[in-house]
Chains A and B, each alone.
Chain A
Amino acid sequence: MSETNRTRQIVITAVMAAISVVLGATRLGFIPWFSGASLTIMHVPVIIGAILEGPIVGVIVGLIFGLFSLIQAAVSPTGAVDVFFVNPLISVLPRIMIGLVAWTVFRAFNGKMTVLSTILASIAGSLTNTILVLGALGIAGALPWEIIWAIITANGLAEAGVAAVICTAIILAWKSIANPDLVAGKKSSLDDLDDQEEEK
């Protein structure tokens, strides 16, 4: 690990954590969904941090995300479940695992097949979040297990799908900006317009 990477890791950790806080505080991170409980995409920065910069970044972004959801639940609670989120075993511990799981899945591909590995990593990370948080809620006796299973199937799968789409879009957009070689062979439709004008 070169020192340049270390500065980048510090900054990207901080920026991803800030995005996660902003998504939570502005309610942008919640997509209204017909099951009543909103779909959350607040864990997307954790997955992206883990995929871009490795497990330590993922763990620390997850830690800050968890601590923030704890503080938000305790300082400006907005929903029914927030009452339980003041317990760090529910709000912090599961979130630390998101980055680890996402990075492990992404790493298993050895850097090949970026699209497929990103999709699988974000699905795994998202499911880790859903299952561990709701499992902790169930163990704490917050909700009956039947409701928890219903939420896992109704929200968890949809959340995993949304996270996969969004993470893949962001990672691909960022990677093609960071190294243009990835898209060197491809032309955008704007280039086609230029070609046509030159022909005229």
Chain B
Amino acid sequence: MNDFDLLNNISLGQYRPGDSLLHKLHPALKISALVLLMVLVLISPLLPHLPLMFLLITLMVRLSGQSLFKLLKGTGPVLPFLLIIALIQMFLIPREYSTPSLLELGPFGVHREDLIFTAKLFGRFFTLFLLFTLFTTVTTISEISHGAEILFRPIGRKRALSHDLSLVITITFRFIPILAMEAEHITKAQASRGGSFGTWKTGLIKKIRLYIPLLVPLFIAALERAETLVEAMEARCYEPGQERSRLTEYAWNGRDSWSLAVLLILFLLFTGSRFILSIGGNYV
């Protein structure tokens, strides 16, 4: 019956309460740091930037008081897939080779470029994995929506678009468990009426006929909930496009300024050295 426990399958990264420097940072700073570091990881060459980035994020994990091993545990399920990808990358994808192959296996050969590409791919994956897990570990959902509101403020100040967007984020997170429960109820109801989910029927038509009695009620129920929410908001005099205050305000303090300065210096250092390296013709 594990197929029906839909609610337990949702793992969006668990928030772990704490009192560390990273937990206490301003939410807008956390989100912009996430974006900046993500860009850095995506543009960084294999050597020496990628290991340095990984080291840097490991340092941040230490600062947040979490254990590195626990955060990396989530990669477990993909490790077998990584092997498959490595094989595809090494043998199947043709590249421009400048060096003779290092190892011959029948018709296939392993080249230096293949190894570099695969190493870069995995390095980026693990670094980004750690980054996102760290972010969701130290940031609550209300902090995300508040931070997004502050960051979006420059666009559409007149009609308070930023507030609308942060409201969208809040309602989305609020609705996820409700809809997951709804989906669970509908699946159980249809299964009790004879719907056979999880079996390997070959016909596409049969499969669609199986999914329609599941999806149509799910969408209609969600849209009806949306209509009810619109009415409830209007009955309580919600006016879109108005400036409004919040229950909790996050203050910007000296610690945030220092962190922002460190972050910006790092960003400039990394992008600068990346640029210099690429002029030197080193595309590794």
Contact = CB atoms under 8 A, between A and B. Distances in A.
A74 interface: yes
A15 interface: yes
A174 B69 CA distance: 48
Nearest to A71: B132
A14 B168 contact: yes
A78 interface: yes
Contacts of B129: 74-75, 77, 86
B176 A80 contact: no
Interface stretch (B10-18, B54-62, B97-105): B10-18
Interface stretch (B21-29, B217-225, B254-262, B264-272): B217-225
B180 A78 contact: no
B198 to A, nearest CB: 9
Nearest to B84: A80
A43 to B, nearest CB: 13
Contacts of A127: none
Contact of A15 (B88, B94, B216, B222): B222
Contacts, number: 192
Contact of A18 (B38, B208, B222): B222
A10 B168 contact: yes
Nearest to A84: B121
Contacts of B33: none
Interface string A1-13: 0011011101111
B230 interface: yes
A60 B167 CA distance: 12
B191 interface: no
B6 A28 contact: yes
B65 to A, nearest CB: 19
A32 B200 contact: yes
Interface stretch (B44-52, B233-241, B245-253, B274-282): B233-241
A14 B183 contact: no
A116 to B, nearest CB: 19
Contacts of A71: 12-13, 132, 136
Nearest to B180: A22
A165 B213 CA distance: 12
A148 B178 CA distance: 37
B200 to A, nearest CB: 6
A123 B133 CA distance: 36
A58 to B, nearest CB: 13
Contacts of B12: 25, 71-72, 75-76
Nearest to A70: B132
A161 B211 CA distance: 13
Contacts of B13: 71, 75-76
Contacts of A162: 204, 208, 211
A88 B35 CA distance: 11
A76 B81 CA distance: 13
B92 interface: yes
Interface in B95-137: 117, 121-122, 124-125, 128-129, 131-133, 136
A1 to B, nearest CB: 10
Interface string B57-89: 000000000000000001101100110110010
Given A4-B230, A166-B215, 6 more contacts: A6-B240, A7-B233, A8-B227, A28-B6, A74-B133, A75-B136
21 contacts: A3-B240, A8-B226, A10-B171, A16-B222, A21-B176, A22-B179, A27-B9, A32-B200, A33-B204, A64-B168, A76-B12, A77-B75, A78-B78, A80-B81, A83-B125, A86-B132, A143-B93, A144-B94, A165-B208, A166-B208, A177-B224
Interface of A: 3-4, 6-8, 10-19, 21-22, 25-28, 31-34, 41, 44-45, 48, 60, 64, 71-72, 74-80, 82-84, 86-88, 141, 143-144, 158, 161-162, 165-166, 169-170, 173-174, 177
Q: Nearest 7 CB-CB pairs, A to B?
A: A14-B171, A18-B175, A74-B132, A6-B240, A80-B81, A26-B6, A25-B10
